[in-house]
Amino acid sequence: GVGFYQVNQKNGQRHSTATAYLKPCCDRLNLTICTSTQVTSLLWEGNRIVGVEYIQDGGLTNRIKVAREVILCGGAINSPQLLMLSGIGPAEHLKALGIPVIVDLPGVGQNLQDHLLAGVIYECTQPLSLDKANNIGNFLKYLLFKQGPLTSNIAEAGGFVKTRPDLATPDLQFLFAPLYFQNHGFNRREGFYFSLGATLLHPQSRGYISLRSPQPLVQPVIEPNYLASEADCECLLTGVEMSRQLIQASAFNQFRGKEIFPGSGVEKKEDIVDYIRDTVETLYHPVGTCKMGNDSMAVVNSRLQVHGVQGLRVVDASIMPTIVSGNTNAATIMIAEKAADLIVATCQ
Ligand SMILES: Cc1cc2nc3c(=O)[nH]c(=O)nc-3n(C[C@H](O)[C@H](O)[C@H](O)COP(=O)(O)OP(=O)(O)OC[C@H]3O[C@@H](n4cnc5c(N)ncnc54)[C@H](O)[C@@H]3O)c2cc1C
C-alpha cells in the first residue's frame, strides 16, 4: 500500500519506549533504574545465569543477583557482545580472545541484517518544502502549540512495492521526504527540494558482530557486509529507477525541478550502481544477531530463552531471524510485549 506513515508521536514529539513505558512506572517500589550504568558480564552458577556485573558512572563495579532470571535487551550490537563476553558464543572466537567457553553457540553475533536506503533528490519549484522550516516562527509554533512543520517525521509518506510479480511480499519500501535528504540529513543545500528513497526490505547480505577484545568497555567489531550480495544491489537499482519513474508522475508536475541526485548524467546501469554504492545509507535497523529458532545457528528458543543456558532471555531486535518488512521500532516493541506475556506466564 501507499500512504502517510503512522508515527510514535505524542504532543508533536517522538514518543520513545522510555517515555511511554518506563516513565509512568518510575515510582514503583519494585523498579530501580540505574543510569550511566554498563553491564559488563553475566554471572554464572553452574549453567544458570544468576545476576549481572556492572560499572556505574565509569567507576565502581557492582553486582546484582536475580531471584528469577536476567532479561538481556542490549540491542542487536550489544546483546551478542555481552553474551560473548560472558562465555556464550562461537567457541573458536572466544578461545582466541582467552574467554572461557561456557556455551558454544556459533550463531551469537552472526546473521546481522539492516535496512539500506538509496534515493533520488529533486529541486522543488515551489517554496513549500521543509528545507527552510527551521525558522523562529515554526520554532514558536512548536514550542507553544506542539504543531507545525517541526513536528514532521521527515519521511512523511511512502509505500511498499514488489519489484517482481512472483514475490510473496514487497521487497522495497519507499520513503518520501519533503526536503533535501542525504547523508542522514547532515548534508544541507540552499533552496527547496524533495527526496524519494527506496529501502531494501529483505537483504541477502549478512554481517556479523564480533569481539575486538575481552574488555567489556572496548567497542565490538560491527561488520555489516552491506551490498555483499549482487541481488541486494540489483534490488536497490530497481528502487532508484522506480523512484525516478514515480517522480515523473503528473502529480509532481507543479513541483518537479531539476534532478540533483543521481543527476541527469547518471543513466547507465553501472553508473547508477556506483551511485548507490557511494551514497547508500543505513536506516539504523540492525537485527538478527541472537536469532530465534531451533537450527544450529539459533541463539534463543521461541520463549526467547538462550539455548543451553538457564535463567537468561534475550528480548530485543537481535532475536529476529530475518528482518521485518518495515521499520523495526514497532516490531521490537511487539517482541517486548510478547516477552512480557511469556515472563508473566512463567511466574504464575
Ligand atoms: C538514529 C536512529 C533512528 C531510528 N529511527 C527509527 C524510526 O524512525 N522508526 C523505526 O521503526 N525505527 C527506528 N530506528 C530503529 C529502532 O530505534 C530500533 O529498531 C529499536 O530501538 C531497537 O530496539 P532494541 O531494544 O533492540 O535496542 P535499543 O533501542 O538500541 O536498546 C538497547 C539499550 O540497551 C542499552 N545497552 C546496551 N548495552 C548495554 C550494557 N552493556 N549495559 C547497559 N545498557 C546497555 C543501550 O544503551 C540501549 O538503551 C532508529 C534507530 C536509530 C539509531
Here the ipTM equals: 0.99
Burial bucket for residue 77 (CB in 10 Å: 0-12, 13-18, 19+): middle
Q: What is the pLDDT of residue 348?
A: 81
Smallest CA separation from ligand 1 atom 1, residue: 284
Q: What is the pLDDT of residue 264?
A: 92
- Segment 73-129, tens digit of pLDDT: 999 999 999 999 999 999 999 999 999 999 999 999 999 999 999 999 999 999 999
The grid cell for 138 is 515554526
| Active-site annotation holder among 15, 115, 202, 285 | 285
Class level of CATH domain 115-282: alpha beta
Residue 239's H or E segment, with its range, is helix 230-247
- Could you confirm whether 285 is annotated as catalytic? yes
Domains 34-109+286-347 and 115-282 share a fold: no
Beta bridge partners of 61: 55
Smallest CA separation from ligand 1 atom 52, residue: 284
| Residue 154 CA, ligand 1 centroid: distance in Å | 19
Q: What is the pLDDT of residue 347?
A: 85
Q: Which residues have C-beta atoms less than 6 Å from ligand 1?
A: 37-39, 73-76, 78, 82, 284-285, 316-317, 327-330, 332
Residue of 73, 116, 181, 323 to test ligand 1 pocket, by largest number of atoms within 8 Å of CB:
73
Closest Cα partner for 290 from 102, 44, 82? 82
| Residue 76 CA, ligand 1 centroid: distance in Å | 8
Q: What is the pLDDT of residue 87?
A: 98
Residue of 219, 284, 304, 320 to test ligand 1 pocket, by largest number of atoms within 8 Å of CB:
284
Q: What ranges do the domains of the chain cover? A: 34-109+286-347, 115-282
β pairing state of 103-104 and 88-89: parallel
As a whole number of angstroms, the distance between CA 217 and CA 55 comes to 10
- Segment 2-21, tens digit of pLDDT: 999 999 999 999 999 999 99
23 contacts 12 by C-beta, under 8 angstroms:
no
Q: What is the pLDDT of residue 43?
A: 98
* Domain range 34-109+286-347, its CATH number among 3.30.10.20, 3.30.160.270, 3.50.50.60, 3.40.50.2300: 3.50.50.60
| Residue 75 CA, ligand 1 centroid: distance in Å | 6
Q: What is the pLDDT of residue 300?
A: 98
Atom of ligand 1 nearest to the CA of 330: 11
Strands, E, within 151-192: which ranges? Answer: 157-161, 172-177
Smallest CA separation from ligand 1 atom 4, residue: 284
User: Which residues of the chain, if any, have pLDDT below 70?
Assistant: none
Q: What is the pLDDT of residue 3?
A: 97
Q: How far is CA 325 from the centre of its chain?
A: 12
Atom of ligand 1 nearest to the CA of 78: 38
Atom of ligand 1 nearest to the CA of 76: 26
Q: What is the pLDDT of residue 59?
A: 86
Atom of ligand 1 nearest to the CA of 184: 1
